[in-house]
Amino acid sequence: MAMPENVRGRPVIDTGRCPDGCRACADACPTDAILVDGGPGSARIDLGRCVFCRDCVEGCPEGAITYGRDHRMASRTREDLALSEGVKLAAALERKMLKLLGRSLKLRHVSAGDCSACTAELQALGNVVFDLARFGVQFVASPRHADGLVVTGPVTQNMRLALEKTWKAVASPRLVIAVGACAISGGPFRGLSAVHDGVESVVPVDLFVPGCPPHPLTLLDGLLRLLGRIEDSPR
Ligand code: SF4
Ligand code: SF4
């Protein structure tokens, strides 16, 4: 299935076009998603912070940043979202977990202060286009019935305890999937005193799905990679 033309895929920086000392894209970025920390040509985008606003595209005088059509962005570790060569796509769960969860995965959604856009895209996974249930993945109403959590939002102070309690209510071994820039890093709310800058500061995370919000194809790709249904491939 192809990404719709009006949807932004994974951003790419052509660092060969970056003049020495230029920080125009980093200065234009509202979420500090562009890292220029290793000298000339070192610029890279942290997909865990990017909100896909295009301010960097407008702010780069060299036209070095473009948005492609690649929907694949989910990674197993936070570090893998900010590589100079794009992103390291999620590897499958270890064999024991795959045996337990690979054919029937039940997930409980926790909205930890999201704006509802990530929630809407999660709900779209259940429609006739994506039909997540055909892969054996279903959302359930109780953490007691779940194998893991899908968390959206930056984890507000008011939701921290609820997230911790919900996580503890899922039997081990349990998965946690952070969906959207807010859940991965705090997104546009990063650094505010009322939020915890993402899920990882509260509970361990097994899959990071970038976007603001992520397209259902990005979510589906990440889930199927986690379940070993799509082979890992280099970027
Ligand atoms: S598109 Fe992403 S990297 Fe570019 S300015 Fe917006 S948040 Fe920053
Ligand atoms: S990542 Fe973007 S779409 Fe998702 S909750 Fe945060 S602001 Fe909303």
The string of pLDDT tens digits covering residues 92-118 is 999 999 999 989 999 999 999 999 999
Q: Which helix (H) or strand (E) holds 98?
A: helix 95-101
Residue 189, phi then psi, degrees to nearest 5? -100, 5
Q: Which atom of ligand 1 is nearest to the CA of 46?
A: 3
**What does the mean pLDDT of the chain come to?**
94
23 to 1, 17, 41, 64, 199: CA distances (angstroms): 36, 12, 10, 12, 29
Angle between helices 216-226 and 117-124 (to 10 degrees): 60
Alpha-carbon gap, residue 205 to 200, rounded angstroms: 6
Tell me which amino acid residue 74 is: A
Contact 195, 100 (CB under 8 A): no
**Residue to substitute in 50, 111, 118, 177 for testing ligand 2 pocket (most ligand atoms within 8 angstroms of CB):** 118
| Residue 77: strand, helix, or coil | coil
| Residue 105: strand, helix, or coil | strand
Alpha-carbon gap, residue 112 to 28, rounded angstroms: 28
Mean pLDDT value of segment 12-20: 91
Confidence of residue 232 (pLDDT cuts 50, 70, 90): low
* 212 pocket-lining for ligand 1 (C-beta < 6 Å): no
**Residue to substitute in 8, 15, 34 for testing ligand 1 pocket (most ligand atoms within 8 angstroms of CB):** 34
Enumerate residues 6+ apart whose C-beta is below 8 A from 188: 30, 31, 51, 181, 182, 212
Which among 191, 183, 119 is positioned nearest to 154, based on CA atoms? Answer: 183
Alpha-carbon gap, residue 185 to 145, rounded angstroms: 28
Alpha-carbon gap, residue 69 to 53, rounded angstroms: 15
Range scoring the smallest mean pLDDT among 1-5, 29-33, 54-58: 1-5
Which tokens is 46 given? 């942290």
* 216 pocket-lining for ligand 2 (C-beta < 6 Å): no
Which tokens is 109 given? 């959604």
Mean pLDDT value of segment 76-81: 96
Mean pLDDT value of segment 11-20: 91
Q: Quick one: pLDDT at residue 218?
A: 97
* 35 pocket-lining for ligand 1 (C-beta < 6 Å): no
